[in-house]
Protein backbone atom coordinates (compact mmCIF):
# COMPACT_ATOMS: atom_id res chain seq x y z
CA UNK A 1 0.00 0.00 0.00
CA UNK A 2 1.46 3.40 -0.93
CA UNK A 3 2.23 5.64 1.99
CA UNK A 4 2.23 9.43 2.15
CA UNK A 5 4.57 11.39 4.36
CA UNK A 6 3.07 14.27 6.34
CA UNK A 7 5.70 16.94 6.92
CA UNK A 8 5.00 19.11 9.96
CA UNK A 9 7.21 22.09 10.71
CA UNK A 10 8.64 22.07 14.24
CA UNK A 11 9.87 25.27 15.85
CA UNK A 12 12.37 24.82 18.68
CA UNK A 13 13.29 27.71 20.91
CA UNK A 14 15.94 28.08 23.59
CA UNK A 15 13.67 29.46 26.28
CA UNK A 16 13.61 28.40 29.94
CA UNK A 17 17.11 26.89 29.92
CA UNK A 18 16.12 23.75 28.07
CA UNK A 19 12.94 23.12 30.06
CA UNK A 20 10.74 23.11 26.95
CA UNK A 21 10.67 19.35 26.49
CA UNK A 22 7.07 18.79 25.35
CA UNK A 23 5.53 19.45 21.95
CA UNK A 24 2.26 21.20 21.19
CA UNK A 25 0.31 21.68 17.97
CA UNK A 26 -1.29 25.00 17.10
CA UNK A 27 -4.90 24.88 18.27
CA UNK A 28 -6.06 28.43 17.65
CA UNK A 29 -5.06 30.72 14.82
CA UNK A 30 -2.91 33.49 16.24
CA UNK A 31 -2.20 36.40 13.92
CA UNK A 32 0.93 37.38 15.85
CA UNK A 33 2.54 33.94 16.02
CA UNK A 34 4.92 32.42 13.49
CA UNK A 35 3.14 29.08 13.22
CA UNK A 36 -0.33 28.17 12.03
CA UNK A 37 -2.92 25.44 12.53
CA UNK A 38 -1.35 22.00 12.80
CA UNK A 39 2.27 23.16 13.09
CA UNK A 40 4.30 22.22 16.16
CA UNK A 41 6.25 24.12 18.80
CA UNK A 42 8.15 23.05 21.91
CA UNK A 43 6.80 24.00 25.33
CA UNK A 44 7.14 23.35 29.03
CA UNK A 45 5.27 20.23 30.16
CA UNK A 46 3.44 21.71 33.17
CA UNK A 47 1.02 24.09 31.42
CA UNK A 48 -2.56 22.76 31.29
CA UNK A 49 -3.65 22.42 27.65
CA UNK A 50 -6.21 20.57 25.51
CA UNK A 51 -5.08 17.09 24.51
CA UNK A 52 -5.89 14.28 22.11
CA UNK A 53 -5.37 10.51 22.26
CA UNK A 54 -4.78 8.17 19.33
CA UNK A 55 -4.58 4.42 18.86
CA UNK A 56 -3.54 2.10 16.03
CA UNK A 57 -6.16 1.33 13.41
CA UNK A 58 -8.01 -1.87 14.29
CA UNK A 59 -10.30 -3.23 11.56
CA UNK A 60 -12.06 -5.62 13.96
CA UNK A 61 -13.60 -2.81 16.05
CA UNK A 62 -17.34 -2.20 15.57
CA UNK A 63 -18.41 0.20 12.83
CA UNK A 64 -20.00 3.00 14.89
CA UNK A 65 -21.93 5.81 13.19
CA UNK A 66 -20.42 9.28 13.15
CA UNK A 67 -22.36 12.01 14.98
CA UNK A 68 -24.64 14.02 12.71
CA UNK A 69 -25.87 17.11 14.60
CA UNK A 70 -26.82 18.86 11.34
CA UNK A 71 -28.95 15.98 10.07
CA UNK A 72 -26.88 15.92 6.91
CA UNK A 73 -28.21 13.66 4.12
CA UNK A 74 -26.70 10.23 3.61
CA UNK A 75 -23.17 10.37 2.30
CA UNK A 76 -22.37 13.78 3.83
CA UNK A 77 -20.50 14.81 6.98
CA UNK A 78 -21.33 17.80 9.23
CA UNK A 79 -19.07 20.71 10.03
CA UNK A 80 -20.28 24.04 11.38
CA UNK A 81 -23.74 24.56 9.94
CA UNK A 82 -22.99 22.82 6.64
CA UNK A 83 -22.55 19.33 5.16
CA UNK A 84 -19.69 17.93 3.08
CA UNK A 85 -19.17 14.96 0.77
CA UNK A 86 -16.25 13.44 -1.10
CA UNK A 87 -16.56 11.70 -4.47
CA UNK A 88 -13.64 9.77 -5.88
CA UNK A 89 -15.15 9.95 -9.36
CA UNK A 90 -13.11 12.38 -11.45
CA UNK A 91 -14.77 15.42 -13.04
CA UNK A 92 -13.83 18.62 -14.81
CA UNK A 93 -14.48 21.75 -12.76
CA UNK A 94 -17.86 22.50 -14.36
CA UNK A 95 -18.95 18.85 -14.32
CA UNK A 96 -17.98 18.66 -10.66
CA UNK A 97 -20.27 21.58 -9.86
CA UNK A 98 -23.09 19.86 -11.74
CA UNK A 99 -22.45 16.61 -9.85
CA UNK A 100 -22.71 18.35 -6.46
CA UNK A 101 -25.94 20.09 -7.43
CA UNK A 102 -27.55 17.05 -9.06
CA UNK A 103 -26.57 14.67 -6.27
CA UNK A 104 -27.23 16.79 -3.19
CA UNK A 105 -29.04 19.95 -4.32
CA UNK A 106 -32.53 18.55 -3.66
CA UNK A 107 -31.59 18.12 0.02
CA UNK A 108 -30.83 21.84 0.38
CA UNK A 109 -33.92 23.46 -1.12
CA UNK A 110 -33.48 26.76 0.77
CA UNK A 111 -29.74 26.74 0.25
CA UNK A 112 -27.43 25.22 -2.31
CA UNK A 113 -24.98 22.41 -2.99
CA UNK A 114 -21.80 23.26 -4.89
CA UNK A 115 -18.09 22.58 -4.94
CA UNK A 116 -16.77 23.53 -1.53
CA UNK A 117 -15.80 27.08 -0.64
CA UNK A 118 -13.23 27.46 2.16
CA UNK A 119 -14.05 30.38 4.41
CA UNK A 120 -11.52 30.08 7.24
CA UNK A 121 -8.58 27.89 8.37
CA UNK A 122 -10.74 25.60 10.53
CA UNK A 123 -12.83 24.68 7.52
CA UNK A 124 -9.66 24.11 5.51
CA UNK A 125 -8.39 21.71 8.18
CA UNK A 126 -11.72 19.86 8.23
CA UNK A 127 -11.75 19.35 4.47
CA UNK A 128 -8.12 18.22 4.60
CA UNK A 129 -9.10 15.65 7.25
CA UNK A 130 -11.51 14.10 4.73
CA UNK A 131 -8.58 13.26 2.45
CA UNK A 132 -6.66 10.12 3.32
CA UNK A 133 -9.20 8.94 5.93
CA UNK A 134 -12.06 6.47 5.88
CA UNK A 135 -13.87 8.30 3.09
CA UNK A 136 -10.99 7.75 0.67
CA UNK A 137 -10.11 4.24 1.81
CA UNK A 138 -7.03 5.74 3.48
CA UNK A 139 -5.58 6.49 0.04
CA UNK A 140 -5.33 10.24 -0.40
CA UNK A 141 -6.17 11.51 -3.90
CA UNK A 142 -3.63 13.61 -5.77
CA UNK A 143 -5.91 16.63 -5.32
CA UNK A 144 -9.60 17.53 -5.26
CA UNK A 145 -11.59 20.34 -6.83
CA UNK A 146 -12.67 23.26 -4.67
CA UNK A 147 -15.25 25.77 -5.91
CA UNK A 148 -12.70 28.46 -6.74
CA UNK A 149 -13.01 30.38 -10.02
CA UNK A 150 -9.65 31.76 -11.22
CA UNK A 151 -10.08 33.87 -14.37
CA UNK A 152 -7.00 34.72 -16.43
CA UNK A 153 -7.39 38.32 -15.22
CA UNK A 154 -9.46 39.79 -12.42
CA UNK A 155 -10.31 38.57 -8.95
CA UNK A 156 -10.82 34.97 -7.84
CA UNK A 157 -14.31 34.07 -6.58
CA UNK A 158 -16.06 31.17 -4.87
CA UNK A 159 -18.66 29.48 -7.04
CA UNK A 160 -21.22 29.57 -4.21
CA UNK A 161 -20.86 33.35 -3.85
CA UNK A 162 -19.03 33.49 -0.50
CA UNK A 163 -16.53 36.27 0.14
CA UNK A 164 -12.92 35.31 -0.52
CA UNK A 165 -11.20 36.15 2.78
CA UNK A 166 -8.90 33.17 3.33
CA UNK A 167 -6.35 31.36 1.14
CA UNK A 168 -3.83 28.57 1.67
CA UNK A 169 -1.70 28.53 -1.49
CA UNK A 170 1.45 26.53 -2.11
CA UNK A 171 4.65 28.61 -2.21
CA UNK A 172 4.61 28.81 -6.03
CA UNK A 173 0.91 29.70 -6.25
CA UNK A 174 -1.43 31.19 -7.26
CA UNK A 175 -0.56 30.92 -10.93
CA UNK A 176 -2.57 32.36 -13.79
CA UNK A 177 -3.72 30.30 -16.79
CA UNK A 178 -4.51 31.81 -20.18
CA UNK A 179 -7.90 30.09 -20.34
CA UNK A 180 -8.74 30.57 -16.68
CA UNK A 181 -8.43 27.95 -13.97
CA UNK A 182 -9.99 26.48 -10.86
CA UNK A 183 -8.64 25.90 -7.38
CA UNK A 184 -7.75 22.48 -6.00
CA UNK A 185 -6.65 21.17 -2.60
CA UNK A 186 -3.85 18.65 -2.14
CA UNK A 187 -3.66 16.19 0.80
CA UNK A 188 -1.38 18.67 2.59
CA UNK A 189 -4.29 21.14 2.73
CA UNK A 190 -2.46 23.54 0.42
CA UNK A 191 -4.07 24.86 -2.75
CA UNK A 192 -3.00 24.69 -6.39
CA UNK A 193 -4.50 26.12 -9.55
CA UNK A 194 -5.41 23.78 -12.42
CA UNK A 195 -7.03 24.11 -15.86
CA UNK A 196 -10.79 23.64 -15.52
CA UNK A 197 -10.64 20.88 -18.11
CA UNK A 198 -8.50 18.71 -15.80
CA UNK A 199 -10.32 15.89 -14.03
CA UNK A 200 -10.10 15.36 -10.27
CA UNK A 201 -12.29 14.03 -7.45
CA UNK A 202 -14.51 16.62 -5.78
CA UNK A 203 -15.51 17.95 -2.36
CA UNK A 204 -19.17 19.05 -2.30
CA UNK A 205 -20.55 21.48 0.28
CA UNK A 206 -24.25 21.65 1.10
CA UNK A 207 -25.69 24.72 2.82
CA UNK A 208 -29.18 24.47 4.32
CA UNK A 209 -29.65 28.24 4.17
CA UNK A 210 -27.89 30.74 1.96
CA UNK A 211 -27.71 34.47 2.28
CA UNK A 212 -26.47 37.35 0.18
CA UNK A 213 -23.42 38.33 2.23
CA UNK A 214 -23.55 41.92 1.03
CA UNK A 215 -27.03 42.42 2.54
CA UNK A 216 -26.28 42.00 6.24
CA UNK A 217 -24.35 45.13 7.17
CA UNK A 218 -27.36 47.02 8.48
CA UNK A 219 -27.13 46.33 12.24
CA UNK A 220 -23.59 47.74 12.37
CA UNK A 221 -24.94 51.14 11.39
CA UNK A 222 -23.18 53.51 9.00
CA UNK A 223 -19.60 53.53 7.82
CA UNK A 224 -17.67 56.32 9.54
CA UNK A 225 -15.41 58.71 7.67
CA UNK A 226 -11.69 58.14 7.67
CA UNK A 227 -9.60 60.36 9.92
CA UNK A 228 -7.89 63.51 8.63
CA UNK A 229 -4.86 65.14 10.27
CA UNK A 230 -2.65 68.06 9.39
CA UNK A 231 0.34 65.85 8.59
CA UNK A 232 -1.53 63.01 6.93
CA UNK A 233 -5.00 62.11 5.72
CA UNK A 234 -6.75 58.83 4.98
CA UNK A 235 -8.73 58.49 1.78
CA UNK A 236 -11.96 56.52 1.71
CA UNK A 237 -12.34 53.66 -0.75
CA UNK A 238 -15.42 51.50 -0.17
CA UNK A 239 -14.86 49.96 3.29
CA UNK A 240 -11.18 50.93 3.49
CA UNK A 241 -9.13 53.90 4.65
CA UNK A 242 -5.97 54.29 2.55
CA UNK A 243 -2.93 56.49 3.05
CA UNK A 244 0.09 56.86 0.75
CA UNK A 245 3.40 58.30 1.88
CA UNK A 246 6.42 59.39 -0.14
CA UNK A 247 8.86 58.67 2.71
CA UNK A 248 11.14 55.92 1.45
CA UNK A 249 11.52 52.81 3.62
CA UNK A 250 12.28 49.13 3.22
CA UNK A 251 9.23 46.86 3.08
CA UNK A 252 9.76 45.80 6.71
CA UNK A 253 10.16 49.41 7.85
CA UNK A 254 7.08 50.46 5.89
CA UNK A 255 4.95 47.68 7.41
CA UNK A 256 6.11 48.62 10.90
CA UNK A 257 5.31 52.28 10.17
CA UNK A 258 1.78 51.38 9.06
CA UNK A 259 1.20 49.40 12.25
CA UNK A 260 2.63 51.85 14.77
CA UNK A 261 2.52 55.41 13.43
CA UNK A 262 -1.25 55.98 13.47
CA UNK A 263 -4.05 55.87 16.04
CA UNK A 264 -5.61 52.90 14.25
CA UNK A 265 -3.09 50.14 13.47
CA UNK A 266 -2.87 49.58 9.71
CA UNK A 267 -0.95 47.35 7.31
CA UNK A 268 0.67 47.81 3.95
CA UNK A 269 -2.28 47.83 1.56
CA UNK A 270 -3.91 44.64 0.30
CA UNK A 271 -5.53 44.81 -3.14
CA UNK A 272 -8.44 42.57 -4.09
CA UNK A 273 -9.71 43.80 -7.46
CA UNK A 274 -8.68 45.89 -10.46
CA UNK A 275 -10.70 48.92 -9.35
CA UNK A 276 -8.87 49.06 -6.03
CA UNK A 277 -5.54 48.62 -7.82
CA UNK A 278 -6.35 51.58 -10.08
CA UNK A 279 -7.42 53.73 -7.11
CA UNK A 280 -4.20 53.04 -5.20
CA UNK A 281 -2.12 53.54 -8.36
CA UNK A 282 -3.56 57.05 -8.80
CA UNK A 283 -2.84 57.84 -5.13
CA UNK A 284 0.78 56.78 -5.55
CA UNK A 285 1.11 58.90 -8.71
CA UNK A 286 -0.08 61.98 -6.84
CA UNK A 287 2.03 61.30 -3.76
CA UNK A 288 5.42 60.30 -5.19
CA UNK A 289 5.07 59.25 -8.84
CA UNK A 290 7.51 56.47 -7.99
CA UNK A 291 7.30 52.78 -7.16
CA UNK A 292 5.63 51.99 -3.84
CA UNK A 293 5.45 49.02 -1.49
CA UNK A 294 2.14 47.18 -1.12
CA UNK A 295 1.34 44.47 1.42
CA UNK A 296 2.02 41.33 -0.61
CA UNK A 297 5.00 39.25 0.53
CA UNK A 298 6.09 35.66 0.11
CA UNK A 299 5.95 33.51 3.23
CA UNK A 300 8.75 30.97 3.44
CA UNK A 301 6.30 28.03 3.31
CA UNK A 302 2.92 29.42 2.29
CA UNK A 303 3.57 31.44 -0.82
CA UNK A 304 2.37 35.00 -1.22
CA UNK A 305 0.26 36.49 1.59
CA UNK A 306 -1.17 39.92 2.34
CA UNK A 307 0.13 41.73 5.41
CA UNK A 308 -3.40 41.94 6.85
CA UNK A 309 -3.87 38.14 6.37
CA UNK A 310 -6.71 38.61 3.88
CA UNK A 311 -7.02 36.08 1.07
CA UNK A 312 -4.91 36.36 -2.09
CA UNK A 313 -7.67 36.52 -4.71
CA UNK A 314 -6.26 39.05 -7.21
CA UNK A 315 -2.88 39.44 -8.95
CA UNK A 316 -1.54 42.14 -11.23
CA UNK A 317 2.03 41.07 -11.96
CA UNK A 318 3.95 42.87 -14.67
CA UNK A 319 5.10 40.79 -17.64
CA UNK A 320 7.76 38.29 -16.52
CA UNK A 321 6.91 38.72 -12.83
CA UNK A 322 7.29 37.41 -10.20
CA UNK A 323 10.96 36.83 -11.04
CA UNK A 324 14.11 35.64 -9.34
CA UNK A 325 16.81 38.12 -8.36
CA UNK A 326 20.57 37.69 -8.35
CA UNK A 327 21.05 38.84 -4.76
CA UNK A 328 18.77 38.26 -1.80
CA UNK A 329 15.21 36.99 -1.86
CA UNK A 330 12.53 38.65 -4.01
CA UNK A 331 9.89 38.16 -1.34
CA UNK A 332 8.07 41.52 -1.28
CA UNK A 333 5.98 43.40 -3.80
CA UNK A 334 6.12 46.89 -5.25
CA UNK A 335 3.61 48.68 -7.46
CA UNK A 336 5.55 50.04 -10.41
CA UNK A 337 5.03 53.28 -12.35
CA UNK A 338 2.51 51.57 -14.64
CA UNK A 339 0.38 50.19 -11.79
CA UNK A 340 1.61 46.62 -12.25
CA UNK A 341 3.45 44.61 -9.62
CA UNK A 342 7.08 43.53 -9.35
CA UNK A 343 8.64 41.32 -6.68
CA UNK A 344 11.67 42.80 -4.96
CA UNK A 345 14.03 42.06 -2.09
CA UNK A 346 12.29 43.26 1.07
CA UNK A 347 15.22 45.06 2.67
CA UNK A 348 17.64 46.06 -0.09
CA UNK A 349 15.49 48.81 -1.59
CA UNK A 350 13.69 51.78 -0.05
CA UNK A 351 10.43 52.95 -1.61
CA UNK A 352 7.32 54.97 -0.93
CA UNK A 353 4.46 52.92 0.55
CA UNK A 354 0.69 52.61 0.92
CA UNK A 355 -1.07 51.78 4.21
CA UNK A 356 -4.69 50.74 4.69
CA UNK A 357 -7.12 49.72 7.41
CA UNK A 358 -10.83 48.94 7.53
CA UNK A 359 -13.28 51.78 8.09
CA UNK A 360 -15.24 51.82 11.34
CA UNK A 361 -18.99 51.29 11.76
CA UNK A 362 -21.12 53.62 13.90
CA UNK A 363 -22.75 50.90 16.02
CA UNK A 364 -19.41 49.23 16.69
CA UNK A 365 -18.11 52.09 18.83
CA UNK A 366 -19.01 50.52 22.19
CA UNK A 367 -17.31 49.95 25.56
CA UNK A 368 -15.53 46.68 26.29
CA UNK A 369 -18.34 45.53 28.57
CA UNK A 370 -20.89 45.97 25.80
CA UNK A 371 -19.27 43.47 23.41
CA UNK A 372 -20.11 39.85 22.66
CA UNK A 373 -17.46 37.64 21.01
CA UNK A 374 -17.74 36.73 17.35
CA UNK A 375 -15.73 34.39 15.16
CA UNK A 376 -12.92 32.35 16.71
CA UNK A 377 -9.58 32.94 18.41
CA UNK A 378 -7.16 34.63 16.03
CA UNK A 379 -9.79 35.46 13.39
CA UNK A 380 -8.45 37.91 10.81
CA UNK A 381 -9.97 41.31 10.23
CA UNK A 382 -11.26 40.42 6.77
CA UNK A 383 -12.92 37.17 7.88
CA UNK A 384 -14.42 38.87 10.92
CA UNK A 385 -15.90 41.75 8.94
CA UNK A 386 -16.63 40.26 5.52
CA UNK A 387 -17.60 36.68 6.33
CA UNK A 388 -19.01 36.89 9.86
CA UNK A 389 -20.26 40.50 9.41
CA UNK A 390 -18.98 41.50 12.84
CA UNK A 391 -17.15 44.51 14.25
CA UNK A 392 -13.36 44.51 14.47
CA UNK A 393 -11.13 46.62 16.71
CA UNK A 394 -7.38 45.87 16.54
CA UNK A 395 -6.84 47.88 19.77
CA UNK A 396 -9.34 45.82 21.78
CA UNK A 397 -8.77 42.68 23.84
CA UNK A 398 -11.87 41.28 22.09
CA UNK A 399 -10.95 42.16 18.53
CA UNK A 400 -13.90 40.52 16.73
CA UNK A 401 -17.25 41.20 18.36
CA UNK A 402 -20.88 42.20 17.99
CA UNK A 403 -22.47 44.93 20.12
CA UNK A 404 -24.38 43.41 23.04
CA UNK A 405 -28.16 43.35 22.53
CA UNK A 406 -27.73 44.12 18.83
CA UNK A 407 -29.62 42.43 16.02
CA UNK A 408 -27.26 39.47 15.86
CA UNK A 409 -29.60 37.07 14.09
CA UNK A 410 -27.14 36.79 11.23
CA UNK A 411 -24.64 35.10 13.52
CA UNK A 412 -26.85 32.22 14.66
CA UNK A 413 -26.92 28.66 13.39
CA UNK A 414 -27.86 29.56 9.84
CA UNK A 415 -24.63 31.45 9.29
CA UNK A 416 -21.02 30.46 8.86
CA UNK A 417 -19.98 32.23 12.07
CA UNK A 418 -18.59 30.31 15.05
CA UNK A 419 -18.25 31.19 18.67
CA UNK A 420 -14.82 30.51 20.14
CA UNK A 421 -16.17 27.46 21.97
CA UNK A 422 -17.84 26.21 18.82
CA UNK A 423 -14.64 26.58 16.85
CA UNK A 424 -12.77 24.63 19.47
CA UNK A 425 -15.26 21.78 19.50
CA UNK A 426 -15.43 21.57 15.71
CA UNK A 427 -11.68 21.57 15.40
CA UNK A 428 -11.59 18.33 17.40
CA UNK A 429 -12.00 16.64 14.01
CA UNK A 430 -8.72 17.77 12.63
CA UNK A 431 -6.59 20.27 14.51
CA UNK A 432 -3.51 18.03 14.37
CA UNK A 433 -3.85 17.63 10.60
CA UNK A 434 -3.52 13.87 10.89
CA UNK A 435 -6.53 12.90 8.78
CA UNK A 436 -6.55 9.13 9.06
CA UNK A 437 -5.86 9.08 12.80
CA UNK A 438 -8.48 11.70 13.63
CA UNK A 439 -11.16 9.96 11.59
CA UNK A 440 -10.27 6.67 13.26
CA UNK A 441 -10.67 8.24 16.70
CA UNK A 442 -13.98 9.79 15.68
CA UNK A 443 -15.29 6.60 14.19
CA UNK A 444 -14.31 4.11 16.84
CA UNK A 445 -14.30 6.00 20.12
CA UNK A 446 -17.55 7.94 19.83
CA UNK A 447 -18.35 11.62 20.14
CA UNK A 448 -18.50 11.82 23.92
CA UNK A 449 -14.99 10.53 24.38
CA UNK A 450 -13.58 13.03 21.91
CA UNK A 451 -15.46 15.96 23.38
CA UNK A 452 -14.38 15.11 26.92
CA UNK A 453 -10.78 14.84 25.81
CA UNK A 454 -10.65 18.55 25.08
CA UNK A 455 -11.11 19.52 28.70
CA UNK A 456 -9.88 23.06 28.28
CA UNK A 457 -10.49 24.18 24.68
CA UNK A 458 -9.98 27.86 25.53
CA UNK A 459 -6.48 27.33 26.86
CA UNK A 460 -4.00 29.79 25.42
CA UNK A 461 -0.98 28.45 23.59
Q: Give the domain ranges of the chain.
A: 10-61+423-453, 77-211, 225-358, 360-413
SS3 of the chain: helix, strand, coil, percent, to 5: 25, 25, 55
pLDDT tens, 174-217?
Answer: 887 888 899 999 999 999 999 999 999 999 999 998 766 665 55
The per-residue pLDDT for range 363-387, each reduced to its tens digit, is 999 999 999 998 887 888 999 988 8
**pLDDT for 299:** 76
Phi, psi of 82, deg, nearest 5 = -115, 180
pLDDT band for position 307 (cuts 50, 70, 90) = very high
- Calculate mean pLDDT across residues 77-96: 95
The class (CATH top level) of 360-413 is few secondary structures
% of residues, the chain, pLDDT over 70: 75
- Arithmetic mean of pLDDT, 313-318: 93
Distance CA 135, CA 127 (A): 11
CATH number of 77-211: 3.10.100.10
Q: How far is CA 248 from the centre of its chain?
A: 31
CATH class, 225-358 region: alpha beta
CB 192 within 8 A of CB 170: yes
Q: Which run of H or of E encompasses 116?
A: none
Q: The pTM is what?
A: 0.76
> What percentage of the chain reaches a pLDDT higher than 90?
50
CA 368 – CA 447 distance, rounded (Å): 36
Per residue in 381-440, pLDDT (tens digit) is: 999 988 888 999 988 889 999 988 776 544 443 344 444 434 444 444 443 334 443 333
**What pLDDT, on the 0 to 100 scale, is given for residue 3?**
34
CA distance 47 to 372: 28
Phi, psi dihedral angles at 378 (to 5 degrees): 85, 10
> What φ, ψ does residue 183 adopt, rounded to 5°?
-100, 140
Closest CA to 266 of 299, 287, 235: 235
Closest to 242 in 3D by CA, of 279, 290, 292, 291: 279
- At 22 the pLDDT is 86
Identical fold, 225-358 and 360-413: no
Amino acid sequence: MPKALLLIRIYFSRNNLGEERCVLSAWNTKSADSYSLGEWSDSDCSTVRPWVCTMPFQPNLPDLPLPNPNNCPSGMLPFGADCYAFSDEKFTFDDGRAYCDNTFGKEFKKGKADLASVIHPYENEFIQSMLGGDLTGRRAPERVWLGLHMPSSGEFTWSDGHHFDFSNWWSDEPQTHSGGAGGTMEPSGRWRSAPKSAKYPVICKGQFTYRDEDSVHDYRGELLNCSTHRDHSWHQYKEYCIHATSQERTWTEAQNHCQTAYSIPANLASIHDSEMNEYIFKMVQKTSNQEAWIGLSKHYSKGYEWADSSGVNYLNWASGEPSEVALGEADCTEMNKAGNWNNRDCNRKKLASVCSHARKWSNCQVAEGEKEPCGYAGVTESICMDTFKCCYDPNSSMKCFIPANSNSKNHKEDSDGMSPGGAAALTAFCFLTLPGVIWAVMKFSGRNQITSGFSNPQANF
